[in-house]
Each structure stands twice: as structure tokens, then as C-alpha cells.
A and B are shown apart, each in its own frame.
Chain A
Amino acid sequence: MRGVPRPLALALARAVGLVAVGVGLVLGATYLPAPINLAQGATPTRATRAPAEPVTQTRLICPGPEALGIEGLPDSLPQTVSVAAAAAPVESLPPGLVTGPGDGSLAISGLPSGGKWAVSATVRGQVVSGQVSTARSALVTGVGTLAPGVVATQWSWIPEGNSRGLVTAACMPAATSSWLIAGGAGPGRLEHLVLANPGPNPVTVDLAVFGVKGRIDSPDGQGLTVAGHSRTVILLDAIAGSEPSPVVHVMARGGKVAAFLSDTWLDGIVPRGGDDVVSLAEPAREQVIAGVPIDGRAILRVAVPGDSEAVVESRVLTSGGPRPLPADGVTRVAGRSTRDIDLSSLPPGAYAVQVRADVPVVAAAMVDRRRAAGAPSDLAWSVASLPIRTLAGMALPTSEVKGLTQRLDLAATTDPASVRVTTVGVDGRVSTNEVAIAADSVSTLSLNGATSVWVTPLTGLVRAAVVTSVTDAGGVLLSLTPLADLTLTATPSPLRQLRDQ
């Protein structure tokens, strides 16, 4: 450092020292990134998701007499319907479902309240039944241990007169959106829309009716109010009277409603029968309609809810595998429109219909039974349903009906499937039966003598429907009831109190 003034040397030393410490700190922080953990408490673990629990309450609504209590019209004819409800026998319940100890009950009541009802059931498999002949729906409530796996069916059998026909309808939980496919043009053909609100608050319902020429806009279908604990019946003809191929979308605001569409036809003095439809599937790019027993006139009705045109590819599934449609196997359906595809030329047999489209569609099939032109007939609707994941079932109309035949139609798609079919006899005897279905085919099983039938899926994608028919002197009365996948368990949404930050 000779020659450099002493203050300068000192200054240099200081500067070097300062810079060295600073650089040392920075380098230390860069290359020694081990964190100093002062956090208190252990490492937090992720909260486990709440397990699914058996439902503790099931509420199903049966439409009740569809023709009674139409808004603005006096009741023309008396009508009585029967309601049967049952809880799935233990044998049919999927493995792992433990309903737990404790009491449960299954009861039917009126909606709005009223009517006389049988005492409630407390045993699984036991059928509770009742009759409604007033303008009200029936509310089937299963609570406690009997809540999981409750089904109910409303049916009416009228062998004679203008109302001749056999009608079965699955009772449904209330929903915010229902797609109802039934009805048509023709003199004397009426579509009753039954809306039942089991909740305490009024619900506003908007209807969207789709037809072959597009959506039918009508102010009458907007803002319908269904009071709490009550039902409303309206005639769809007021909105779309001459529509040959109506499809109704029921949208509920401020609550849920159970929606049913009753399609009855009195062609002059010739009773052409009727059937009730419910909504089992929301619009999707694949719809499968199980239980389409064709023997005569039959149609497939497809509706496109969206704006875009759909390319619809349809085929039927038979016991021998899939078959193409006789005509219109691939067809175009304009957006917001419906289309009927004739299936009448198919040979008689048990079918399922598979519909695929490039945009979501809804679909249903109607079959007709008519001995001869001019003779009375009966029509039946089967709607597309979802594959059974947990359990499906149906309380069957009593075997007291003369000439009653009941058959379970199973349809498997994509892969071979197998199911366990459980039936409960009149004597309460439970019998199970494993059924295998080949891929893309259907299989049938007779149910005669059973009070309820239950389908527990084992493998594959299976849809099921019950075909109920009565053969009498006037011909065949037919009704189709696709089975809905039941909700046995519920996963409660975990509740969490949020922080204020």
C-alpha cells in the first residue's frame, strides 16, 4: 500500500469489508436456502371426505288421477288410480349398503293432504297400497331405515268404456327439470300435464314445448305457479293443441316439482288407450330406451333441445344383438325440433332402442296394440333411462287384474352385462335370479305373481323396463314402465365455516 494515503487505504478496507459482508449475506441467502421453520403445530393433513351415508328420507310423488282438477275445467268423469309402494328387500340391496339399526317406515299420504291411506309399512319388501279418486297426488315417504330403495307405482286398469286402457307410472322425486315425451295430434287425444309441488314454498314452472316445426312459444306455458304442498294439472293442448309430436321441458324455479305427462286418446268413440310418462334422462348424446315391445304400430320420437341440427343415428337392440332401423336409421333433426321415426315395420318382438346423436337429444318410443282397424287399442310410452348403477325396482300392479302379464325387459349396451333380479311374491317370498345379457342386446324375464321387482346391477351397463299387459276380449292393454336408478346413499356436502380472510 505504499504510495497510497492512509485514509484512502482505510476507506478501501472499509468499503471492501462492507461489500464483502453484503455479498456474503446475499450469497448465503442464495445458496443456503434451508428455510427456518417457525411455524407452530404439525403439518396439516387434508381433511377426509365425508363417507356416503344411506339416505334417511325418500319422497316420491305419484301423479294421482290425471284428469281431475284441470285448471279452468270441471271434472268430466270420475277417475280412480291405485298406488303401490315398497322398499327394496334386503336381498336386493347392493353389498356394502348398511341401513343401520333403527326404525323406518313407508307411508302414503295425499298431496295436498287428505284422503284415506293404509297404515304404513315397517318391513322391507312389504307393499303399501292405496287408491286416490280425488284431485290430488300421492306422496310416498320412506323415512329412516326404510328410506333407501323406495319405489312406488301408480296404475289404473279400466277394461271398458271410453277410458279403456292400462296405465302405469313410476312415482318420481321432485326435480327442477323434466323432459316429458308423449302425446300427439289427432281428434280426442289429450295430454294432461301434472305438476306436483311437495315443498312448502310456491314454485314457478316454465314450459318449453318442442314440436316438429320447432319450439312452440306460448305465454300460457310461462310462469305457472304451483302452490306449496299441492298439484296443478294443465292441458298441454292449450299450448300445443295440434302438435303431432310434442316434447315438453318442464323447468321449475324456486323449488322442485314432480312432472308427469298423461297421454290419452279417445278417437271419436273408439278408445285408443293412454299412458303416463315421466322424465328419467336429461338430454344426452346417447339415449337408450329399454322395454319397447313392438307388435304393430310403433314410433321413436327424438327431440333436439339445442339450437344446432342433430344427426341422429338409431338402431334397435334385440335378443340377438343390434339391428338397424328399417328406415331413417340415420336422420337429421333440426335444432329445437322433434321428429317421429316409424318403427312399425319391425317384426314383433322385444326391443330396446339406442339413439346416438352429435348433439344432446332426448328420446322415447311409443308402441300400440290394436287388433284391427277401428277396434279399440292401447298405446304405451317408454322413455329413455339411465343405466342402473345401484338399484332399480318397481312395485307391480296386483295380480288381481284378470289376464295380467308382467315382464322385465333388460337391455345391455356396449358390453355383456349381468344383473341380479329379485322378486317378492304375494306371500312375501323373496327369490333372486341372476341374468346375463349379451352386449347390445336385450333379455326378458317373466314376473308373473310378483308384487315387486328389483334389479341389482352386477356388471355392465343395463337398463330395465317393466312391460305390463292385460289381454282381454277387446285386445291387449299395454303399459311400459322404465325403471329409474335409485338413490340409496347421499354424500353430505361437508360444511365448513369460512374465515373472514
Chain B
Amino acid sequence: MRPAVRPVVVTGVLVVHDGAAWLTECLDALSLQSRPLDRLVIVDTGSTDDSLRIAAKHARIRQVVGDVVAISALHANTFGEAVGHAVEQMTFGSEPSGSESSESASSQAVTGAQWLWLLHDDSAAAPEALAHLLDAALRSPSVGVAGPKLVTWDDPSRLLEVGSVITRSGRRVGGPETGEPDQGQHDHRNDVLGVSTSGMLIRRDVFETLDGFDPAFGQFRDDLDLCWRVQLAGHRVVVAPRARMREAAASTNGQRSHGLSADAARGRDRRDGRQVALARCSPYAAPVLAIWIALASLGSAAVLLVAKRPHGAWAALGDFGSLMTPWRPMAARWRSRGIRRVRRRDLRGLFASPRAGFGHTLDTIHEGVAPLGAGSGSARSVDDGAGSALSLESGPASEEAESLERPARGAGWRILRHPGFLAVMAGALLAAATWRSLFGALIPSGAGIAGGELLPVSSNASGLWHAWLDGWHGAGLGNALEPAPYLPVLSAGAWVLEHLPLIGASTSSVGVSIAWLLAAAVPLSAWTAYLGTRVVTRARWPRAWAALAWASLATLTTAVASGRLGAVVAHILLPLVAAGFACAARRSARIWTTFGAALALGMTGAFNPALAALGVLAALILLVVGHGRTRLRAAVLLLVPIGLLGPWILQLVDNPLLLLTGPGLTVWRGATAVPWQLGLLHPGGPGSYPVLLSAPIVLAGVIAMSRCRADSRTMTVLAVLMMAGLALGVASPHVIIGLIPQDLAGAGNPITVWAGTGLDLAALALIAAALRGFGRGSARLSRPRFRWRQILVLCVVTAAVLGVVGSMAMAGWVGVGEALTRQVPKTPAVAAEQAHGSWGNRLLAMSREGDTIGYRLVGAEPGPVVRDLPGAVVAQDPLLAAAVNSTVGTSDVTSTTAARDALADLGVGFVAFHGASTEPLVTQLDATAGMTRLSNNNGQILWRVLPRENAVGSSRLRLVDAEGAPLVSIAVTGDHGQTDVSLGPATSGASSALSSASASDGRRLVVAEPNRWAERARVTFAGRRLEAIAGAEQPTYLLPPIAGQLSITLAPTHQWWRWGQLGLLLVVLFLGAPLGLTRSRRTP
């Protein structure tokens, strides 16, 4: 008789290891199975809690199953070993006691239909679980393994695993995420690569054929390995979503008393997954896969780090661990040799596509950069550094209440109605109206603007960058003075401009970027003010008012109209700095706000040192009076700006007066506003509008400061700030910080401090106070009591709004004024082109100024961008003076070429004279040997300095023989003679004509720079460092007669400090960028 009644025997193998917390429930669930187990083997792996007692005393399971055996596998460390031990016992050992021999015989007859149901002690199967599993397993004879849908222990409606989907490199993708609500979204799965060991139903013969779990993979991903081998052996692995099991995943979550921590378990899981892939992939693909894993690990780590997901980055780096023990996958591969029955590519459909893996990474990054608060309350996973609950579609379940917060209308409508957006737009309109007369200057391919405090500059980002970085820099012959710290910021702006798509190249991207910055100052100020006022109030419309009040202040309109770059940048950044300080003083500041404020303060200091000094002072106060984390933040606010400004701080120590100056922060000529106008926040100058229009803001601020409220401390701080700013403002025109030097127009007149810096501070305090005092005006108006107060509030608010509207209207009407003009390149085009060419030709520009002849050397290197306090006159180079003297000296026309040679030695390729063509100097230059007139345009006459007899023209670098006769010009590749070119040996070219004496003496490299240049230059030839010959008129180097590479670089003055600045900037940028969430990403 065929044993047809129960052809299938299911043996449960329950591995117990300190699972007392869950075991009772686990056994209860087993006893409630609708299709009861035929046998149950409880394998204990050395539990130290009362698991054994629970297992032994559970009566119901024994009633239901009957054949329950408890065995001990003390030596087994892993689940796999425990199961293996149990199966061994079942096969070769004595039949578990208590089994009936008849049933034993019948079960022997149907060995092929014996199934093992692997069970964890921290899982609880739903009553129908086994029935559904068997249903799925018996549906096809090819099924070797069937697995249930795992849900979380605490909440059965949240998913844990529905089969595992991995990429070919062994990375889990495709979910479900841990804790993902189960809405049946994964129930379509059937064939999967692997299922978890928890609840795995495996045919016993398959298990035995494959020799069970591979010991290489220990506790984690041994399930994947086994299933992969099952697949390779020609069996199917299916998941039965209808079979549900609750799973505590105690090992993975670190809940086992002696197990790994959760983080370590996740790392092991990840690593083992990679190793399984390495062990089971095609042997030929394994090396490629290893390389891919290494690269992907590094790349993901870098990207995740930038996205401020350090945990994820660390986890990604953990993949390297899988490559550290290559013998393990190799051993595993050896052990499983010969089992493969199907081609590997037949399994292709079971893997996630590479695109899915990439999309997964993108999701992770998106989560990192997603706006703050957008995902608040969502559960997040750090597994794989991934898992974005944000990207999931929410179903109609009850917990989707959060989705109700979404507005009924589209995002566009929301933005359009956003007061902040409207304020910025109003600022943009004001800027457009103000700049109506200078639209042409904003053309990207133009030369930008000049005038006011802006000096004509023709440079690009690289030129400005080198003007800051190089140890020898600056216009003309150059100098080694400490460069202004704002240059790299402007350079960055110009760089961005240069790299914008669809924009033509500009001859002066610096000029254009400055023009854009000035033009965008009003909307930018509105934006930063709107952001910054968040620390004062959350009310949006009052914040929009404050933003526009800040953006339409006369301090900004006049600064823009006069090209006071330092004031404009400081005005834009000041709200952010102030908000950062306010945040730092509170208890709940985020890291990025602190570092963002420190960065803004550093940048403000680069443009307006006085404000940075005040900021540092405020940070010091905070450091003293604050406590706990506030002190830490204050230290950041104190040290980061100092570190960012770097060596420039030393300049301040040398000359503290620099604190009061900055780019465009001095007043050279022109009347300042009278004190009462200063009191109304009007510094005077171009771009001013009627002063009284600012009175309502002052009034509102003063009234707000006067009110007695709970936050009177804040008001006191603001009042002190306002008074300090006002005092600074009204005192500034009386502070003489220098006299206009003799060689400039208006010589001897005093140079005073621009009043707007102080007034900006006063305005900041007033607007903040007004916002705080009247920000909830509507709420006050509805109060029933104190009628007089309501009327006052109404009047003040109305006046303040009208004042801002009036200010904007008048500022727009007045416009940007006459001071700024479109910049017209002063250097003739041919000279400018040659200056940037390979010879680095200079232009000697001369002009008659009264009874003197002024001259200036113009090269490709940019000079100062904005007017500042005049520094000490750079010592005149005697060679230059001699060259000019020989050119324009009183001696009459000479037949010699002394003038030409003197000019050529300085790299002067062109001479220009700005003035009347009847000037005697013009005739003299016409008659100078070696010079030929090129053009006479717009009052500028241009001569070219002709090459010498041996056709060696003017150049920055030239080779000369021992007598000093030029042999050949050498091309330059950078500013001030920097180059990197290869030179032939001395025997080639002109040196063959040399006498033997000079040939033995060797050729020399002469640099058309002043002697002090040599102190900063690093000249190497053929790999050897060259030292300048002492006593030469110009930097001269003896070149060996061999061929080699000539390299000239100008090292930065404080090289290590520069590296430090860069490093600090990167760190601060990273920490200060408002990306990622700083709160824990862990699932609660």
C-alpha cells in the first residue's frame, strides 16, 4: 500500500540560542499550525538562559507534533552548523527517540518527499504559514526551497523580507525596506534568488546533496549562499508571500546577549553578501567582480560622504572587507565543485539589474540632499546607507496621515504665493529698474563695469586667483605684498561665470561678475534677509517686509551705485551672520548653521574687515558668557573666520588701520551725508533717495525697542547694537585714515571711512527689533484691550510698510546713477592679445599729467580691483625708471637703440601715449630707433617695440649668451614669467655663432622681472633647481648646455597656510552646507 495519506513529511528544525524572550511565542505559533509539523527537532546551541526549560516545558507543542526531539549541538556556532548537526542526527544517528517504527518505514519510502522547515527561535509563524509554504513547494517538483514573507515581530503589518533581491555583486536592493508597510506590494514575487533561513522550507535531499550550509559564511548570508547553490543545482527557490512569519531578527538587531552589535551585524551581512557573490559567480568573472566591488565601494563612500552620510559612507567602505579574505569564497567555491546543473546565465532573471543598483544609490544621495524636514517622521534605514521612505508611494492605509499635509495645489502655486519668493522677486524688479541705464554692462561677453570705487580691471578667474595665490603678483612689475583676501571669492565668481553654458567668452569675466554681483545685490539681500529673519519670527509676511526693508536700504543702494564692493557683499551676508549668531546663542543650533555662519563671517571679513572684527568680538562675548555647546559654537565662530582669512590677519596686526578699510569702504572725494541723514541710515553719495523715506523703519525699530516685553533682553541687545552702529556711522566721516597720495588726483585730501558699515549694523538692529516687536501685529490688533496700543501698532506698521514701498519706488526711480559706467578696455587690443600670448609682452602706458609724464607698466596680470586705502608705493624699479628715462629723456633723437633694448629687456612690446598727438613726446617716440607707430585711436597712440637685430623680440624670458646678447625668447605659460617648456641643448640654434669663450661660459636665462622676483621664484631646469646669479641687473640663471625642461613657478608666500586655508574651507563648506539631516537616521 502506498503511503498516500501523508506523502510529505515535514521536519521542523528549530535552532535555539538564548531565545527565551521569543521562544514561548515561537513554540505557540508552531503548535497552532493548520498543517502541523510531522516532527520537530529542537537544536540547542548552548543557551545560557532558560530557553531549554521553556522548550522542555512547552506542553502544547508536544501535543500537536508529538514527535519532538531536543538535541544539543554545543559545538555549533552558527545556525547552519546547528541545522547541519540536526540533519546528521536524523540521517545517520539513532532515530529520534519516541518515533514509531511503522511511520519510520513509511517515511523511508518517501524520502524524496521529506522537507525540512528551518526555524529561528525568535520567529513566530502565522497559523497558515506551513500550509502555504508546502502549497508553494509542492506546486512543482523543481522547487527545492520555499520561503515565507517575513514581517517584523512587533508590528506584523510592516515588512522585513520577501525573498532577497540582490545585484550580481551581492548587494541587497529592491526592498522591502525594514519596516516598510505591507500593502501587498511585493506579493507578486515568486522565484527569487534566495530566502531567509527563518522559515525556510527545504527539501531534505537537496539539503543533503548540497552538504548543507557552507561554513564559510557563518551566521550571515549563509541562506543566500545555500539558495544560490540550490539554484545552481537545478532547483527553484520560491517565496510564498501568503505564508507569513514574524521575525525579531535578534541577531541582526544585536538583541542576542552574546551576539554582535547591530552595526557590526549589518557590516558582516554586507560583507558576506559580497563574498557569496564572489564565491558563486562565474570563476572568470570573479576578479572583475572584485575590482568592481572595490571601485563601487570607494565611489559610493565618496558620494555618501559628500552627501553628509558618514555612516553610509563607512558602511560602503566596509565592502572592502569582503576582499580582505579571498580564501573564504575560494574555499567555498572548492567545496561546492561539481554541483552545478544549470548554466549561470539561466539565473540572470533572478538578479536585480545594475540600473536598479545605481538607482538605489541615487535614492540614497537624494535622501541626503533633500530639504530639511521634508522627511521628518519617516522611518529611515541605514542598511546599505540606503533606504528612502520618502520615495515610497503611500497607500490608503491609516498611517498615511502625513500625506494629508500636502497642499491641494501644485508646487508652482505654492512658490508663487510664498512671501519670501515674492520679496526676492520684488527685489529683482527693483534691481532691474535701478540698472536700466546699465543693462549693457551686464552682457556676459562685455568687459563689465568700472567707475566709482571700481577700478578698471581686465582679468579672468585664473588671473585673479594667481594674483592672490602666487608669491609674486600684481600689475606692472609685480610685488610680494599680502594680497587682499577677497580676490579668491571674486575669482570663484568669475570662474562660475566662465563656465556657464551658452555664454560667450568675456575679455574680463571679473568685471562682468562684479557687475552681476552688484546688479543682483538687492534680490540677494532680500533673500538672505528673509532667510535670516527666521530666527526672529516664523511669520512669513512680516519677514518679507523685513527682507525688502533690508534690500532697499540706502546703505545698499548707494554702495551699489558707487561700486562699494565690500559694502555690498557685507550687506548681502550680514543677515546670515547675524542669524547664525542668534542661533549659536540658543540651545538648539544645528551644526550647519554654525559653520554656515562662520563661513559667511569669514567671507564678510574678506570684504569688510570691520564687520568681521565685530563678529569676532561677539563670538568672544558668547564664548565668555555662554555655556556648554554655545561655547563650542562661539569657538567655531571665532576661529573659523580667522583660519579662513589666513595670513592676511598678520597684515592686520601690522596695520590695525586696515580694519576700518576694505574694498570700496573708503571715501576719497565727495561729500558725505550730514549727521541727521546718517541717523536716518543714509550714507549719501550716488544712489541716494529721499532721506525721510527711511524714517518709518527707524521709528518702528525704536518703538519696538522701547516696549516692555518678555524678550526685553533681546531688545536690549538690539538697542546696544543699534547705538553702536549709529555711533560708528556718524563717527566714520570724521575718521581720517589716510591722505590721498601725491601721485593721485586730489593729493593731500583726507581719506575717511565710509559711514555705511556702521549704519548697516544699526539698520540690522532696527529691522530685527521692528520685526520682533510688530511681527505679530495682526494678533495684537485683535486683542480687545488697550485701544491706544492697537492704534499705535496699526500706525507704525502702516508707516513701515509705506516707507519700504516708498523707498523702493524712489530707489528704482533714482537708478544706479552716473558713477558706474560700462568699462571700455583701455589697453589696445593688439597689446592685450600679446600680453596674454606666449611672450607675455607688456605695455608701457604713458600720459601727460600736468608737467609730469606718468607711466605705468601694463601686463596680463591684474592690479587692484576696487579702490582701497592706498598702500605704500611699491618701490620704483630702477631698471624700469632707466628704461622710461631712456625712452622719454630730454636727450634728442639718438641713433643708438638703447631705448628699445632697455624696453625689450623689461618685456615691453608696446608703448602707448594717451594725449594729444602734437605732444613733443609723441614726436620723440616716433623718432626713437627700434620703435614704430602702430595706430592712433581715441587719443591713444601706440608704438610697437621692434625686435632686435637678431629677431629676438620683447619677452618675459630670454636666453642670452655670456656677453648678454639675446639668443632666443622663451614662451611663458603663466603670470610673471611662470612657464613650463622644454629647451634644446646649447649647441643648437644661435649658440653656434658664439665664440668659443662664450660657449664655454654657457647660456643664461634672464627674466624680465625685478630682482626681488627671484626670492619667490622656483626655477628648475632638467630637474635641478637653479639659483639666481648674484649681482645681475635682472634675475639671471646659468643654464646647463644640455636639453631639458625649464619650469618656473612662483610659490605662495605662506604655502602651508594656503593649504590649511583650502582644507579648512573644504571642511567648512562640507559642514556648512545645509545638506542632509543631522538628526539620527536610525529607525526608532
Query: How far, in angstroms, from A203 to B719 measured CA to CA in the complex?
Result: 75
Q: Which of A18, A46, A253 contacts B705 (CB 8 A)?
A: A18
CB distance from B861 to the nearest CB of A (A): 10
Stretch at the interface among B23-31, B152-160, B258-266, B737-745: B737-745
Query: How far, in angstroms, from A174 to B40 measured CA to CA in the complex?
Result: 125
Stretch at the interface among A5-13, A85-93, A294-302, A401-409: A5-13
Chain B residues lying within 8 Å of A19, measured Cβ to Cβ, are 702
Of all chain A residues, which has the CB nearest B475? Answer: A500
Q: Which of B722, B730, B737, B918 contacts A26 (CB 8 A)?
A: B730
Query: How far, in angstroms, from A494 to B853 measured CA to CA in the complex?
Result: 6
B747 at the binding interface (Cβ < 8 Å): yes
The interface bits of chain A over 15-57 (1 if a CB of B lies within 8 angstroms of the residue's CB, else 0) are 1001101110111111001111111110110110100010111
Query: How far, in angstroms, from A219 to B357 measured CA to CA in the complex?
Result: 85
Q: Which of B706, B735, B736, B895 contacts A14 (CB 8 A)?
A: B706
Chain A residues lying within 8 Å of B727, measured Cβ to Cβ, are 25
Of all chain B residues, which has the CB nearest A173? Answer: B892
Chain A residues lying within 8 Å of B895, measured Cβ to Cβ, are 200, 229
Q: Which of B674, B676, B707, B853 contacts A496 (CB 8 A)?
A: B853
Q: Which of A47, A201, A255, A497 contacts B856 (CB 8 A)?
A: A497
CB distance from A495 to the nearest CB of B (A): 5
Q: Which of A35, A228, A493 contacts B750 (CB 8 A)?
A: A35
B589 at the binding interface (Cβ < 8 Å): no
Q: Is the CB–CB distance between A501 and B863 below 8 Å?
A: yes
Q: Is the CB–CB distance between B890 and A490 below 8 Å?
A: yes
A199 at the binding interface (Cβ < 8 Å): yes
Answer whether A501 and B853 are a contact pair too, CB < 8 Å, given A25-B679, A26-B679, A200-B893: no
Q: Is the CB–CB distance between A201 and B929 below 8 Å?
A: yes
Query: How far, in angstroms, from A21 to B853 measured CA to CA in the complex?
Result: 53
Answer whether A34 and B734 are a contact pair too, CB < 8 Å, given A44-B739, A497-B856, A499-B741: yes
Stretch at the interface among B173-181, B440-448, B878-886, B979-987: B878-886
Q: Is the CB–CB distance between A493 and B748 below 8 Å?
A: no
Q: Which of A10, A56, A254 contacts B933 (CB 8 A)?
A: A254
Chain B residues touching A, range? 35 or more
Chain A residues lying within 8 Å of B852, measured Cβ to Cβ, are 493-496
Chain A residues lying within 8 Å of B675, measured Cβ to Cβ, are 25-27, 29-30
CB distance from B930 to the nearest CB of A (A): 8
How many residues belonging to A are interface residues under a CB distance threshold of 8 Å? 63
A256 at the binding interface (Cβ < 8 Å): yes
Q: Is the CB–CB distance between A29 and B475 below 8 Å?
A: no
A498 at the binding interface (Cβ < 8 Å): yes
Within A161-192, the residues touching B (CB, 8 Å) are 173-174, 176
CB distance from B763 to the nearest CB of A (A): 13
Q: Is the CB–CB distance between B735 and A500 below 8 Å?
A: no
Query: How far, in angstroms, from A23 to B680 measured CA to CA in the complex?
Result: 11
Answer whether A28 and B730 are a contact pair too, CB < 8 Å, given A44-B741, A201-B932, A498-B855: yes
B923 at the binding interface (Cβ < 8 Å): yes
Query: How far, in angstroms, from A36 to B864 measured CA to CA in the complex?
Result: 27
Chain A residues lying within 8 Å of B863, measured Cβ to Cβ, are 500-501
B54 at the binding interface (Cβ < 8 Å): no
Answer whether A46 and B742 are a contact pair too, CB < 8 Å, given A497-B876, A497-B880: yes
B708 at the binding interface (Cβ < 8 Å): yes
A336 at the binding interface (Cβ < 8 Å): no
B399 at the binding interface (Cβ < 8 Å): no
Answer whether A38 and B739 are a contact pair too, CB < 8 Å, given A12-B706, A26-B675, A496-B855: no
CB distance from A149 to the nearest CB of B (A): 15
Of all chain A residues, which has the CB nearest B933? Answer: A254
Q: Which of B702, B742, B880 contacts A15 (CB 8 A)?
A: B702
Chain B residues lying within 8 Å of A11, measured Cβ to Cβ, are 706-708
Of all chain B residues, which has the CB nearest A113? Answer: B895
B112 at the binding interface (Cβ < 8 Å): no
Of all chain A residues, which has the CB nearest B755? Answer: A29
Answer whether A10 and B708 are a contact pair too, CB < 8 Å, given A56-B891, A496-B853: yes
Answer whether A38 and B736 are a contact pair too, CB < 8 Å, given A22-B679, A200-B895: yes
Q: Is the CB–CB distance between A22 and B743 below 8 Å?
A: no
B818 at the binding interface (Cβ < 8 Å): no
Answer whether A59 and B892 are a contact pair too, CB < 8 Å, given A26-B678, A493-B853: yes
A198 at the binding interface (Cβ < 8 Å): yes
Query: How far, in angstroms, from A200 to B881 measured CA to CA in the complex?
Result: 23
Q: Is the CB–CB distance between A495 and B881 below 8 Å?
A: yes
Of all chain B residues, which has the CB nearest A492? Answer: B890
Q: Is the CB–CB distance between B723 and A21 below 8 Å?
A: yes
Query: How far, in angstroms, from A442 to B863 measured CA to CA in the complex?
Result: 63
Q: Which of B742, B851, B881 contacts A493 (CB 8 A)?
A: B851
Answer whether A36 and B892 are a contact pair too, CB < 8 Å, given A176-B923, A498-B855: no
B829 at the binding interface (Cβ < 8 Å): no
Within A472-501, the residues touching B (CB, 8 Å) are 490, 492-501
| 24 residue pairs A–B, Cβ–Cβ below 8 Å | A7-B708, A15-B705, A18-B719, A26-B676, A29-B730, A36-B734, A36-B736, A40-B738, A55-B890, A56-B891, A59-B892, A59-B893, A176-B923, A198-B893, A252-B923, A255-B923, A255-B927, A494-B853, A495-B854, A495-B881, A496-B852, A498-B743, A498-B847, A501-B867
- Give the B-binding residues of A (Cβ under 8 A): 7, 10-12, 14-15, 18-19, 21-23, 25-30, 33-41, 43-44, 46-47, 49, 53, 55-59, 173-174, 176, 198-201, 203, 228-229, 252-256, 490, 492-501
Apart from A25-B726, A199-B927, A500-B476: 13 A-B pairs, beta carbons within 8 A: A15-B705, A18-B723, A30-B676, A44-B742, A46-B747, A200-B927, A252-B923, A256-B926, A493-B852, A495-B881, A497-B855, A497-B856, A498-B856
